[in-house]
Amino acid sequence: MLNISTLDCVSNIKSQITLDAKVVFVSGNFNIVHPGHLRLLNFAAACGDYLVVGINADGDKDTFIKEELRLEGIRSIGVVDFSFILNAPVEKVLEILKPKVVVKGKEYEGLENIESPIVESYGGKVFFCSGEVVFSSLDLLRKEALGSQKRPHVKVPVDFLNRHKIALKKLNHHISRFKSLRVVVLGDLIVDEYITCDALGMSQEDPTVVVTPIQHDLFLGGAGIVAAHAAALGASVTYFGVSGIDHASGFAKQKLSEYGVDPVVLDDESRPTTLKQRFRASGKTLLRVNHLKQHTISRDIESNILRSIYAKIQNADLFIFSDFNYGLLTQFMVEELIQFCNKKNILMVADSQSSSQIGDISRFSGMLLVTPTEHEARLAIQDSLSGLAVVANKLQEKTGAQNLFITLGAEGVMIQTSTSSESELHTDLLPALNHSPIDVSGAGDCMLTASALSLAVGATIWESAYIGSVAASCQVARVGNYPLGIEELTQALAS
């Protein structure tokens, strides 16, 4: 029997719209409104004059949040003109509303869609598009612009905490247990140089900005800072990597030791130590210059690293792959270590960066956690069109990862887990906590480390994501990479 209230609601919406107006219709669960939804809705709104959204009623497949809350979330989005609970067949809704356009995600193209014959019967169209990948929610930007003067430095995501019953006392308990962990980190060693400049003006001979350097600062970076974060948070850490035979190598090895890391850094005469110079003025980065070679390490070095790792890894609790794709982590090495860790029941997490370089996070199979950016996730599955939820599902299926963070910059992090029971959320969005970042470099490394340690001591994926996000918010509040200490993280959580 049809639910009359839904059809009455649709009829009422229809009566408020002029006859010549172009109506666009979208329907879905909308458990948690994440950037993928916002992109789709923004695209749909641009297709017509009025955007109408139907929210699937409680009891539909994969609905985890009460329908009233899901409806409230959709109504808070500026581009949505009308919305209602969809507890009647969508065919009946379309017969009354007669939208000119129905928009569905790109993943539905090529499948059987019950909307198509109905919409086509009166001359309408069904568009399959998940929106522009580069879209950033206008609503988020408006909130940031309007609230920047009043909002505290870090905004606490109360809804997220309440949804997952996250308590400060429990978080502090997890953090206090970091000191029991034995962690091994493998990845590319990088030194970051920040060159602070005074801007002198524009050259009179050609349109070139002229600066003069006034300060040079060196920081440990890459997988080295991942190891340093873990040590500063209390864990016993051994780091494995390679470096050139140069000043940057000496600096990195010295810093690793100062930060309480046990460094095993092999010399590679065929490459310099990777050095990334950032020229900055007035708090902004003007230019980055990378001094590096990206060729694969020799088989001799590969064998020596594996022998060294096997001698140290026997009693490890957690193995972190921190891959910057500069030639250290060969496929053979990755496969050998994954197999070894699986035999020894050592937890594994991985990050594989693809910014100016090309990587593939999917080669790290069976991880407890992987943390790609959206670009890196799409690169791994070769999909630039599907919505975020589909990208997450495809990547999780390809990697076999238990948990997945897709980091979205200013929009936060999308979390997906395969370990939840059917009554719990499998996917959620944690907004960015620091809305006034000073230097975003190293945020992902800090989040990876803190979240991985949290998972290793038994925190839930939601608790781990929150601890990692708080850690990242601390990192972006300063210029340059410094290890995040346990006291700093505890204070940030409390505040």
Tens-place pLDDT, residues 173-207: 999 999 999 999 999 999 999 998 988 888 888 88
For residue 165, what pLDDT band results from cuts at 50, 70 and 90? very high
Instruction: State yes or no: pLDDT of 150 exceeds 60.
Output: no
Instruction: State whether 127 and 182 are in the same domain.
Output: no
Instruction: State yes or no: pLDDT of 172 exceeds 50.
Output: yes
Instruction: State whether 184 and 102 are in the same domain.
Output: no
Let me know if residue 213 belongs to a domain: no
Give the residue from 353, 340, 344, 468 showing the smallest Cα distance to 403. 468
Instruction: State whether 485 and 393 are in the same domain.
Output: yes
Instruction: State yes or no: pLDDT of 312 exceeds 50.
Output: yes
Instruction: State whether 18 and 41 are in the same domain.
Output: yes
CA distance 388 to 39: 9
Instruction: State yes or no: pLDDT of 3 exceeds 60.
Output: no
**Average pLDDT, integer, range 212-230:** 93
User: Which of 145, 180, 204 corresponds to the end of one domain?
Assistant: 145
Contact between residue 185 and residue 237 where contact means Cβ atoms under 8 Å apart: yes
Instruction: State yes or no: pLDDT of 142 exceeds 50.
Output: no
Given strand 413-417, what is the order of strands in its sheet?
262-267, 236-243, 182-187, 318-323, 347-352, 369-370, 403-407, 413-417, 427-430
Instruction: State whether 78 and 173 are in the same domain.
Output: no
More confident residue, 384 or 133: 384
For residue 458, the 8-state DSSP code is T
More confident residue, 108 or 259: 259
User: Which of 115, 145, 175 corresponds to the end of one domain?
Assistant: 145
Instruction: State whether 125 and 164 are in the same domain.
Output: no
Instruction: State whether 109 and 163 are in the same domain.
Output: no
Let me know if residue 204 belongs to a domain: no
Let me know if residue 195 belongs to a domain: no
CA distance 6 to 379: 42
**Average pLDDT, integer, range 229-244:** 97
Quote the domain boundaries for residue 62.
Answer: 4-145
Instruction: State yes or no: pLDDT of 376 exceeds 60.
Output: yes
Instruction: State whether 310 and 254 are in the same domain.
Output: yes
Let me know if residue 140 belongs to a domain: yes
- Farthest-apart Cα atoms in the chain, separation: 79
Please tell me the predicted confidence (pLDDT) of residue 133. 59
Let me know if residue 423 belongs to a domain: yes
Please tell me the predicted confidence (pLDDT) of residue 439. 80
Least confident among 180-184, 259-263, 272-276, 280-284: 280-284
Please tell me the predicted confidence (pLDDT) of residue 386. 87
* Mean pLDDT, the chain, whole residue set: 88
Instruction: State whether 393 and 351 are in the same domain.
Output: yes
Please tell me the predicted confidence (pLDDT) of residue 135. 39
Overall number of domains in the chain: 2
Q: What is the CATH number of the domain that holds 401?
A: 3.40.1190.20
Q: What is the CATH number of the domain that holds 60?
A: 3.40.50.620
Contact between residue 310 and residue 186 where contact means Cβ atoms under 8 Å apart: no
Please tell me the predicted confidence (pLDDT) of residue 454. 98
Tens-place pLDDT, residues 15-40: 999 888 999 999 998 887 888 888 88
Instruction: State yes or no: pLDDT of 361 exceeds 70.
Output: yes
C-alpha 85 chain-centroid distance: 31
Please tell me the predicted confidence (pLDDT) of residue 107. 86
Give bridge partners of residue 197 from the DSSP assignment: 213
Please tell me the predicted confidence (pLDDT) of residue 146. 39
Tens-place pLDDT, residues 427-479: 899 998 887 788 888 899 999 999 999 999 999 999 999 999 999 999 988 88
Please tell me the predicted confidence (pLDDT) of residue 403. 96
Let me know if residue 282 belongs to a domain: no
Please tell me the predicted confidence (pLDDT) of residue 152. 37
Please tell me the predicted confidence (pLDDT) of residue 149. 36
Instruction: State whether 326 and 422 are in the same domain.
Output: yes
User: Which of 145, 172, 206 corresponds to the end of one domain?
Assistant: 145
Instruction: State whether 326 and 249 are in the same domain.
Output: yes
Give pTM, 2 decimals: 0.79
Percent of the chain with pLDDT over 90: 63
Give the residue from 223, 257, 274, 248 showing the smallest Cα distance to 448. 223
More confident residue, 11 or 63: 11
Cα dist from 209 to 282, 286, 439, whole Å: 13, 10, 22
User: How many other C-beta atoms can be found within 10 angstroms of the C-beta atom of residue 87?
Assistant: 18
CA distance 112 to 305: 52
Please tell me the predicted confidence (pLDDT) of residue 421. 52
Least confident among 244-248, 400-404, 438-442, 474-478: 438-442
**Average pLDDT, integer, range 398-424:** 83
331, burial (CB in 10 Å: exposed 0-12, middle 13-18, buried 19+): exposed
Let me know if residue 152 belongs to a domain: no
Instruction: State yes or no: pLDDT of 240 exceeds 90.
Output: yes
For residue 356, what pLDDT band results from cuts at 50, 70 and 90? low
Instruction: State yes or no: pLDDT of 138 exceeds 70.
Output: no
Let me know if residue 281 belongs to a domain: no
Instruction: State whether 170 and 67 are in the same domain.
Output: no
Instruction: State yes or no: pLDDT of 262 exceeds 70.
Output: yes
Amino acid identity, position 61: K
Give the residue from 483, 472, 413, 466 showing the smallest Cα distance to 226. 483
